[in-house]
Amino acid sequence: MANSRNVPLRTRRRRAPSALLRTALSLALVATLALVINRAIDLSGQAAGNRGHIAGAPVKAADAVPQQPSVPGLEGSACVSYAPTHGHLDRTVYIDAGHGGLDPGVVGTTASGRTVLEKDAALTVALRLAGLLRSDGYRVVMARTQDTTVLKLSAADSNYGAITSSAEHRDLAARAACSNAAGANVLVSIHFDGYSDPSVGGTETFYDAARTFAAANRLLATDLQAALVARLGAADRGVWTDDQLAAPTLTGSGQSYNHLIELGPLSQGWVDNPSQMPGALVEPLFVTNPAEALIASDPAGQQKIAEALESGVLKFMTGPA
């Protein structure tokens, strides 16, 4: 990328961690990692009804409906559909909380030394965003609702407690497939940044320019970026195309593909079921920056991020066609 301080990849982008990192992660996370299996979900547009959600509050799995066979091999708590809690706009927002389960994403710390995992912050923000958008009249489909991957993994998908490259690739493909099965009008993938220099911080957003709806992708990314910067007051690191992402890849195939799997175009044998709606991937803050890690892990900060994303989505969805 043009910015020399852009973040190197974490596992979610295109490459799995090195063997040393896998070992370190397994030692740090083995006591807490679990794959939660819950078969009570589905992608049908009908939800089990409103159960008293407060606007902006995290959604709960009780609202889920049975799992849809058209998206096989998923975790029970993945690919969940939620009906609006107020009004009905007949529009669907797909929210992808990055990482999960064996894949922690970026591991950061606050100034007090408290560990902040990207996967946890992303999920909490995603749940809060879902509550807000449902109260705005939107149906919401969530890639994951618990600390799991989207794809149900087997023992072969773990290497010393870390997700394998193959499993990560299939998990990312499953997220794109879920967005399509959802019939979503827009895709928002939530992540947090990381860098070796803890002084680096700010907000950046990525989109794919190689799609037929590239102009809509850029508009969505711009709306989300502007809303995040305005709400958080973090440094504006800009809106980038995903081929500008300064990051290593999962495999040689991923390197030649040169797009984010959740957002990118068809590539036979690598991305066979690409997402079919405007999408963007947001990086609101750096969890490797102690001050920003505190915001990303604090309920009030997470609510700010969710409200900013809500604002960006609403601007995009209600703007000129």
In a domain, 196, yes or no: yes
pLDDT tens for each residue of 212-236: 999 999 999 999 999 999 999 999 9
In the three-class reduction of DSSP (H, G, I as helix; E, B as strand; rest coil), residue 138 is classed as coil
- Res. 250 pLDDT band, cuts 50 70 90: low
d(CA 150, CA 142): 10
Q: How confident is the model at residue 258 (pLDDT cuts 50, 70, 90)?
A: confident
Q: To the nearest whole number, what is the mean pLDDT of the chain?
A: 82
The residue-averaged pLDDT of 155-176 equals 95
Residue 101 lies in a domain: yes
CATH code of the domain in which 68 resides: 3.40.630.40
**Which segment of 7-11, 145-149, 245-249, 313-317 scores lowest on mean pLDDT?**
7-11
Total of domains in the chain: 1
3-class secondary-structure state, position 207: strand
Task: Take residue 162 and report the two structure tokens written for it.
Answer: 């870390």
Integer Cα distance of 307 and 90 in angstroms: 21
Find the domain containing 262 and state its range. Answer: 19-318
Q: Does 200 fall in a domain?
A: yes
pLDDT on residue 26: 41
Query: Which has more pLDDT, 41 or 278?
Result: 278
Confidence of residue 88 (pLDDT cuts 50, 70, 90): confident
pLDDT, tens digit (0-9, with 9 covering 90-100), for 57-73 = 444 444 544 344 367 89
Q: Which residue has the higher pLDDT, 166 or 255?
A: 166
The torsion angles phi and psi of 317, rounded to 5 degrees, stand at -70, -30
11 assigned to some structural domain: no
Distance (Å, rounded) from C-alpha 85 to C-alpha 62? 14
Residue 49 has pLDDT above 50, yes or no: no
Residue 241 lies in a domain: yes
Q: Are strands 236-241 and 203-207 parallel, antiparallel or unpaired?
A: parallel
Q: In the chain, what is the straight-line distance between the N-terminal and C-terminal CA atoms, in Å?
A: 31
Closest CA to 207 of 260, 269, 246: 260
| Length of the chain counted residue by residue | 321
Q: Is residue 5 part of a domain?
A: no
- Based on DSSP, count helices (H) and strands (E) in the chain, helices before strands: 7, 11
Residue 9 lies in a domain: no
Q: Distance between CA 278 and CA 201 in Å, rounded?
A: 27
Which tens digits make up the pLDDT trace of 108-161?
A: 999 999 999 999 999 999 999 999 999 999 999 999 999 999 999 999 999 999
Virtual CA dihedral for 40, 84, 228, 212, nearest 10 degrees? Answer: 80
More confident residue, 54 or 247: 247
Is 297 inside any structural domain?
yes
- 278 vs 53, residue with greater confidence: 278
- The reported pLDDT for the residue numbered 16 is 33
Distance between CA atoms of residues 209 and 212, nearest Å: 8
Residue 44 has pLDDT above 70, yes or no: no
Strands (E), the chain: 78-82, 92-97, 107-109, 115-117, 139-144, 158-159, 162-163, 186-190, 203-207, 236-241, 279-283
**Pairwise CA distance, residues 152 & 150, whole Å:** 6
3-state secondary structure of 308: helix
